[in-house]
């Protein structure tokens, strides 16, 4: 079993988080530098990558579109509510025809 003494630079127990983070960052930089200097360069045939596209939003149009969606939705909801309320108030209260239509029972 490997035990790390108090003087070992890789020991993280009892150290503040900033010191542990600096230790990890130093190790990462050393690893990348060693890999860059010791690894051979590899040439890969093909095309260079193309820069990505950037979306430019015209916020006036975007807000207008969202407001129009909300307005149409509200208008259609109000019309549906009005139509359902109007149909309920126009029906007779509890006649045999209405009860049969609601329950699906038809008398012969």
pLDDT (tens digit per residue) in 53-74: 788 999 999 999 999 999 999 9
CA–CA separation, 28 and 36 (whole Å): 12
pLDDT at position 86 is 66
- What band does 89 get if pLDDT is binned at 50, 70 and 90? low
Q: How many Cβ atoms are within 10 Å of 29's Cβ, its own excluded?
A: 10
Burial class (CB in 10 A: 0-12, 13-18, 19+), 13: exposed
CA–CA separation, 60 and 62 (whole Å): 6
Note the pTM of the prediction, 2 decimals: 0.34
SS (HEC) of 42-57: CCCCCCCCCCCCCCCC
């Amino acid at each position: 079993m490997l035990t790390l003494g108090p003087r070992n630079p890789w020991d993280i127990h009892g150290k503040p988080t900033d010191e542990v983070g600096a230790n990890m960052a130093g190790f990462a930089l050393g690893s990348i530098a060693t890999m860059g200097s010791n690894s051979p360069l590899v040439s890969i045939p093909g095309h260079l990558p193309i820069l990505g596209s950037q979306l430019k939003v015209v916020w006036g149009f975007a807000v207008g579109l969202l407001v129009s969606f909300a307005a149409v939705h509200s208008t259609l909801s109000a019309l549906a509510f009005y139509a359902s309320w109007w149909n309920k108030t126009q029906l007779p209260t509890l006649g045999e025809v209405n009860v049969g239509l609601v329950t699906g029972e038809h008398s012969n």
